[in-house]
Structure 1
Amino acid sequence: MDLEDFPDVLALRYASSGAKAIWGRRRKAELLRDLWILILEIQQKYGLAIPEGAVEAYKRTRDNIDLVRIDALDLELRHDVMAQLRAFNEVAGYECLHQGLTSRDETDNVEQCQIFAGLGLARDKTVAILVRLRNLALEYQALAIAGRSHLAPGQPTTHGKRLATHARELMLAFEHLEQFIERYPLRGIKGAMGTQQDMLDLLGSSEVSVTDLDSHVRDYFGFPRVLDSTGQVYPRTLDLEVLDILVQLAAACSNFAKTVRLMAGLGLAQEGRKKGQKGSSAMPHKKNARTSERIVGLYSALCGFKTMIERIAGDQWFEGDVSCSVPRRLAFPGAFFALDGLYEAMLTVLDEMEVFPALIKRELKYFQPFLSTTAFLMAAVETGMGRESAYDIIQKHAMDTAAEIEAGGENTLVTRLVNDGSFKVAPEEIYRIASEVKYGLAERHVESICKDIDVLAKRYPNMVSYNPEPLR
């Protein structure tokens, strides 16, 4: 049966080539072989008898990876690590690997290498997204827009501040990601029960040699530290923290995508269209926010992968077993593919998004009397009116005006307040307030957030100009 008929949809349709390179089967085999060769060299250094020419043979055949042969051996042995081991031994012509190890020494460390690389890719693309959000936030820093809470118009804000707020949320997740990368520990070579006993026996009970082996593995693969104690498996709560970070990153983008979808529905913006792109398959006039919907959908998928890891994080039996293997095999490639696909879609939307200032201003003018109600309230308090009494007067006139508009009438809120003798604000002040569009410190907020992004851009200059791959 042709496996191409059963594709990994996340890899095929959504993930970039960079993400697929990290999680591909060949890459995993390469990492396994690198780990075996490194351990063999350290064992030889500390006196383990290794046949002459064995290390060189393994190095020479490192890239001779026959996935078909590995699959055949896996069917025979029902053990994927042993299948990889035998395939490597066959091409090298020696049987010197896996001495003093358990399969978790190989799988956990190799998968952590893939996770570490995936986190690095996520970090870099997060910077690219933040830079684009910065640019758009500055471009629309002073574009006043009707701010909405509960989806209803509330007070004016600016479109730039709205974008900058999404950027700040993503920056909080980015800080979590950076800190985690700086402290992410490798499991190391711990053996069957985590005591390193077999390696001690193999290397003449030399604690120094066993400790040195862990240090060499840590440094070779570029990790900041190595765990000093594990069972057969490292704590799966560490895996859960990885998924927490990925979900936090994705959530910020999903919130942005929801904003784009809602603005598109109001006719204030759209995510952009590539020439020849179809909108609705049935209605030719429609410009559906499909890529933003993709972002939200991939966020949902990512949350599902997190649920898998939540189930195994608190379910370890003594020193460990392999019940966590299935969720981890599915969740880690899937989660990183989902985030990567989401990021590629996010970058595409940011590059192609269109905003319609004229329609935004028209909407703002329509709602302006309602958007001024809190300013009316502050002015009333300044005259000495009780806050609740003033609130009740404004609310009554606002509700009556809304009912009048719903019946086909005009917005008469300002006139109602001017004509209400119990409302102590002078008529000229009411007219002034109603004519002003005030959005507080919105522009300053934009500047503050953009300065922080500028610092990131200087630290990761190569990602400023990253371009997403074409979307399907």
Structure 2
Amino acid sequence: MSTGIHDKYESPLTSRYASPEMAALFSPANRFYTWRQLWLNLAKAEKELGVKGITDEAIEEMEAHLILTKEDFEIAAIEEKRRRHDVMAHVYAFGQTAPKAAGIIHLGATSCYVTDNGDLIILRKGLDLLLDKLARAIYHFSRFADKYKSLPTLGFTHFQPAQLTTVGKRATLWIQELLWDLRNIIRARNDIGFRGVKGTTGTQASFLSLFDGDHDKVEALDARVCELFGFEILYPVTGQTYSRKIDIDILNPLSSFGATAHKIATDLRLLANLKEIEEPFEKDQIGSSAMAYKRNPMRCERVCSLSRHLMVLAQDTLMTNSVQWLERTLDDSANRRISLPEAFLTTDIVLSLLQNISEGLVVYPQVIQRHISQELPFMATENIIMAVTKKGGDRQECHEMIRVLSHQAASAVKEEGKENDLIERIKKTEYFKCIHDEVDSLLDPSTFIGRAPQQVDKFIKEHVNPALEPYSEILKQDKHVTLSV
């Protein structure tokens, strides 16, 4: 039974998760609008350099019809079905809308003039959107780190209790990786160049003919179109396409970010299981259809799920680049239509989730303290040994006494399910009478966290704040942001 709009598969990346901005950027409407911009600027540059037959009226008509209408899409669809060529279908559709320009649209160009330059324009804009979101996520995690920089918590190595750290210090480990992602994505964004006007195999033969053999004008045309689109880098040589290695350089940092996001979300899932920290949980949210009490870490699970997809997408670009025979083959096209948009849409979704998570993390200090109290007696044994030796005790003898009592306490915890009573055992043992009045102070968790609070302060001041400075205006737009961290 047909249900209209629901009888076709839709990617959940756009139908369920993606932001309107990123979904619009990779939409057919924006893609073909970008093509029309490319045809317009090519015509403008050619006219500036003396190509005959390009009139002011033609330019004005092209400018007036950059945004496609429903009729434009219908014309292009009919023509593509007939010609089996999407670029020529849209050249025809644009010419129907701007008839005074019909004869000069795409003059001297090959299809990759619009497809490849269009992709580079869209990919660069996509990275700008991602960088803004990444800056927001870093900022909110930094506020969290600052707020809890002095709250002691169990550290874990091998997911076994280890020396204490603080809730905020642990968050700096996440933030540091996000800062590296920010650096890598900025590099990728700033390294994106423009293919320019290179012709069918990159030799610019068609443009050399257009300018009657004038090499200087061909180079001037290439540079002028690049300038009109605001690119600082013009690739000096290309085949028919820009090198698909550029796609590797763009998707690698996105996939690398996927690994960061997966690690952060996994840590939070583990902490949620310990009931120490939870992601935001809405008032009417349902954790389980059967178990009403559950507060599943749904957002973090989604981050992990999508990040796994993101991490593998860079493999497509590696394999595609490796098989681009000579000046190019077309086996890149279908793959890139999927892998490039999906990488950006997925990164965008993961960043939206991370921002939401970082803004609403819930910490349970009493649970954290209870877990510390269960393990700290074992960790405090070295402090106790030192205190006894300062009172004149023998270190080796004290060590043996502590060892025996520790094993007894551990056995009670593991085999009888009791609380860790090592400290009570020490207080009841005559050997330790000389430090009984010091034992409690030797168990103060704040004395076990080293320089964690100071590390957080220095990290935010010297690394986070400078990295976020270029995004200060964007961060101010967030009503939750007070730029004081």
Relative to the length of structure 1, the TM-score reads 0.89
Amino acid at match of 1:189: V
Given the alignment, which residue of 32, 37, 41 partners 1:38?
Answer: 41
Cα gap change, 1:192/1:373 in structure 2, threshold over 3 Å: closer, same or farther? farther
Show the counterpart of 1:337: 345
Matches within 5 A, 1:408-423: 408=416, 409-413=418-422
Given the alignment, which residue of 84, 89, 92 partners 1:78?
Answer: 84
Contact 1:40 1:97 in 2 (8 A): yes
Matches within 5 A, 1:59-458: 59-65=63-69, 66-93=72-99, 94-372=102-380, 401-408=409-416, 409-413=418-422, 433-437=442-446, 438-451=448-461, 452-458=463-469
Contact 1:33 1:62 in 2 (8 A): yes
The whole-number CA distance in structure 2 between the counterparts of 1:220 and 1:315 is: 32
Contact 1:258 1:292 in 2 (8 A): yes
The whole-number CA distance in structure 2 between the counterparts of 1:243 and 1:235 is: 14
Cα gap change, 1:207/1:402 in structure 2, threshold over 3 Å: closer, same or farther? farther
The whole-number CA distance in structure 2 between the counterparts of 1:376 and 1:316 is: 68
Cα gap change, 1:392/1:162 in structure 2, threshold over 3 Å: closer, same or farther? farther
Cα gap change, 1:48/1:276 in structure 2, threshold over 3 Å: closer, same or farther? same
> Which of 360-369 and 176-185 deviates more?
176-185
Show the counterpart of 2:483: none
Contact 1:145 1:156 in 2 (8 A): yes
Q: Once the 2 structures are TM-superposed, how far is the Cα of residue 350 of structure 1 from its aligned partner?
A: 1.6
Q: Please state whether the residue corresponding to 1:205 is helix, strand or coil.
A: coil
Provide the alpha-carbon RMSD of the alignment. 3.3
The whole-number CA distance in structure 2 between the counterparts of 1:381 and 1:230 is: 75
The whole-number CA distance in structure 1 between the counterparts of 2:467 and 2:251 is: 23
Q: Please state whether the residue corresponding to 1:460 is helix, strand or coil.
A: helix
Q: Once the 2 structures are TM-superposed, how far is the Cα of residue 118 of structure 1 from its aligned partner?
A: 0.6
Amino acid at match of 1:223: F
Q: Once the 2 structures are TM-superposed, how far is the Cα of residue 397 of structure 1 from its aligned partner?
A: 6.7
- Structure number with higher relative contact order (C-alpha < 8 Å, ≥ 6 residues apart): 1
Amino acid at match of 2:30: R
Contact 1:398 1:413 in 2 (8 A): yes
Contact 1:279 1:287 in 2 (8 A): yes
Q: Once the 2 structures are TM-superposed, how far is the Cα of residue 32 of structure 1 from its aligned partner?
A: 0.3
Cα gap change, 1:400/1:306 in structure 2, threshold over 3 Å: closer, same or farther? farther
Show the counterpart of 1:464: 475
The whole-number CA distance in structure 2 between the counterparts of 1:373 and 1:208 is: 80
Q: Please state whether the residue corresponding to 2:331 is helix, strand or coil.
A: coil
Show the counterpart of 2:62: 58
How many residues were matched structurally? 467
Relative to the length of structure 2, the TM-score reads 0.87
Q: Please state whether the residue corresponding to 1:154 is helix, strand or coil.
A: strand
The whole-number CA distance in structure 1 between the counterparts of 2:40 and 2:397 is: 80
Q: Please state whether the residue corresponding to 1:193 is helix, strand or coil.
A: coil
Q: Please state whether the residue corresponding to 2:239 is helix, strand or coil.
A: coil
Q: Once the 2 structures are TM-superposed, how far is the Cα of residue 137 of structure 1 from its aligned partner?
A: 0.7
The whole-number CA distance in structure 1 between the counterparts of 2:343 and 2:399 is: 49
Q: Once the 2 structures are TM-superposed, how far is the Cα of residue 460 of structure 1 from its aligned partner?
A: 1.3
The whole-number CA distance in structure 1 between the counterparts of 2:323 and 2:262 is: 30
Cα gap change, 1:208/1:372 in structure 2, threshold over 3 Å: closer, same or farther? farther
Q: Once the 2 structures are TM-superposed, how far is the Cα of residue 61 of structure 1 from its aligned partner?
A: 2.2
Q: Please state whether the residue corresponding to 1:20 is helix, strand or coil.
A: helix
The whole-number CA distance in structure 2 between the counterparts of 1:374 and 1:108 is: 65
Deviations 1:386-413 (A, max 9, x none): x999999988875664333111145355
The whole-number CA distance in structure 1 between the counterparts of 2:126 and 2:252 is: 14
Q: Please state whether the residue corresponding to 2:467 is helix, strand or coil.
A: helix
The whole-number CA distance in structure 1 between the counterparts of 2:396 and 2:87 is: 72
The whole-number CA distance in structure 2 between the counterparts of 1:278 and 1:412 is: 39
Contact 2:179 2:467 in 1 (8 A): no
- Unaligned 5+ segments in structure 1 are none
The whole-number CA distance in structure 1 between the counterparts of 2:259 and 2:336 is: 22
The whole-number CA distance in structure 2 between the counterparts of 1:167 and 1:87 is: 49
Q: Once the 2 structures are TM-superposed, how far is the Cα of residue 219 of structure 1 from its aligned partner?
A: 2.2
> Which of 318-327 and 72-81 deviates more?
72-81
The whole-number CA distance in structure 2 between the counterparts of 1:391 and 1:218 is: 74
Show the counterpart of 1:15: 18
